[in-house]
Chains A and B, each alone.
Chain A
Amino acid sequence: MKALAAPLAAALLVLAAPARAEDVTVFAAASLKEGLDAVLRPFRSSRNARIAVSYAGSNALARQIEAGAPATLFIGADADWADYLEGRGLTVAGSRRDLLGNALVLIAPAASKALVKLEPGVDLARALGSGRLAIANPSAVPAGRYAKAALTALGAWGAVERRIAPTHSVRGALALVSRGEAPLGIVYATDARADKSVRIVDVFPESSHPPIVYPMVRLKGSGAATGELAAYLAGPDARIKWRGFGFRVPPP
């Protein structure tokens, strides 16, 4: 498979670029969708390059890149998958930086009156009642892993371990709470802001989980246009937009 991957990818790139400036293909974590789309809009109209973005779970994206998908820029939702790609020699050395940060929040349906303080010893089981806690799959999806780490740090994981509803992606968990199917859920702060039918009950202390970072790294075979895009995404104009969506922005 790998032997075919490179020539296949090259063929695809050649086919996809009919006598034009270089194409940029961004593989980005699903939770970046609204933000990245908005940030890209002015960039697209002012440049002569085609920018394609593929949103999915970081795990799926990383595996696809490993299998030879023609991405030029990767923005993941945790450090592990960027490490994974670097470890396999698929990235451009020295191009990695932490683009964004995020917060982890506990949400409830907008109409819910739930009051929970996220501190060590918090009794989530009682707050759940007979319902389930909607989180992304803790063994596979970054948002789920952060959630499990945070709950473990607060000593609440044991009590809720059997009361979770593990979803395919963090947006799935958001949908469950948004529809009222789950009384509580754990998602990123940016997800909560995007959906009017949920409200943030409390924010997980930053110390309770590994820092949520979105590493950005260029992939082998990418060209100058990708470099320009990467610089723009980290630049001052973009930063204002990122903050508007609720992302944390590391100092330049």
Chain B
Amino acid sequence: MPTREELEVVALSLKVSFWGVAWSLPIAIAAAFVLARKRFPGKTLFDAAVHLPLVLPPVVVGFALLVLFGRQGPLGRMLEPLGIVFAFRWTGAALAAAIMGFPLMVRAIRLAIDAVDARLELAARTLGASPVRVFFTVTLPLAWPGLVTGALLAFARALGEFGATVTFVSNIPGETQTLPLAIYTFTQSPGQDAQALRLSILSVILSLAALALSEWLVRKRSGAVPVHG
């Protein structure tokens, strides 16, 4: 049976990962749509920027976040009067998780949008639908499985996120000590391997639950599989 502290760590991890994915999902959809459907100067650069967190060492990303969003950082200073603070808070952990998972989300969603026959969108427009309406009534429903996959991938990445988190918001129990950080701390202290193992098992259970949920979500909209011809 998990102890109260262990449950708090799990709850924090879930909170951080969930909100990280939730906040970045609309942005990922927009980025994926633009990459899939639009042509514009600098598109390659934009694509590369989106994939940056995938190729950079997590610690480097964490440091970049510290420089930009820390209390002394330009963006951090801009957001503080608005009540948005990332430094040393769970919001910062969520931001780190969101950034690290972002490229995975965009890739999956972009693939799904690519697979939607663009002529269906044109057909919808001839029927009187504005481009925005076409997006929400045709493109998005048909890309739904890709959306769920992307969100799941990002969620799983967020659950396991370590390097960027510890570098950006450090390892504050109850605030930024997510599952991976807690597990690591236990392994670094002699004689606490049992706790590390318990938390690892909880971690696996969470990932499996997320996988099952995504399968259910995709199957629930069973008619969403595009059929051509």
Flag whether B190 is at the interface (Cβ < 8 A).
Answer: yes
Between A and B, how many residue pairs show CB distances below 8 Å? 49
- How far in angstroms is the closest Cβ of chain B from A186? 14
Q: Which of B72, B185, B188 contacts A181 (CB 8 A)?
A: B72
Task: State how many angstroms separate the Cβ of A23 from the closest Cβ of chain B.
Answer: 28
Q: Do B189 and A132 have beta carbons less than 8 Å apart?
A: no
Query: A215 near B: Cβ within 8 Å?
Result: no
Do A140 and B189 have beta carbons less than 8 Å apart? yes
- CA–CA, A176 and B66, complex, Å: 9
What separation, in Å, do the CA atoms of A167 and B171 have in the docked complex? 6
**Residue B88 lies at the interface, judged by CB distance under 8 Å to chain A:** yes
B residues near A167, Cβ cutoff 8 Å: 166, 170-171
In Å, the complex CA distance between A175 and B66 comes to: 10
Mask, B185-202, CB within 8 Å of A = 1, is 100111000000000000
Give Cα A167–Cα B189 distance, bound, in whole angstroms.
15
Within 8 A of B (CB), among A177-217: 179-181
Q: How far is the CB of B89 from chain A (nearest CB, A)?
A: 10
Instruction: Give B192's nearest chain A residue, CB to CB.
Output: A139
Chain B contact residues, majority secondary structure: loop
In the complex, the answer to whether B71 meets A166 with C-beta atoms within 8 Å is: no
List A contacts of B185 (CB < 8 A). Answer: 137, 139-140
Instruction: State in angstroms the CA–CA spacing of A181 and B66 once bound together.
Output: 8
Contact in complex: A168, B72 (CB < 8 Å): no
Contact of B171 among A131, A168, A179 (CB under 8 A): A168
Decide yes or no: A180 and B189 within 8 Å by CB, A137-B171, A166-B170, A172-B170 being known contacts. Answer: no
Complex interface bits, B14-29 against A, C-beta within 8 A gives 1, otherwise 0: 0000000000000000
Pairwise interchain contact A59-B188, C-beta atoms closer than 8 A: yes
CB pair B189–A179 under 8 Å, yes or no, is: no
**Once the chains are docked, how many angstroms separate the CA of A137 from the CA of B185?**
8
List the 8 closest pairs (A to B, CB-CB), nearest first.
A140-B188, A165-B170, A180-B72, A166-B171, A181-B70, A167-B170, A168-B166, A139-B189
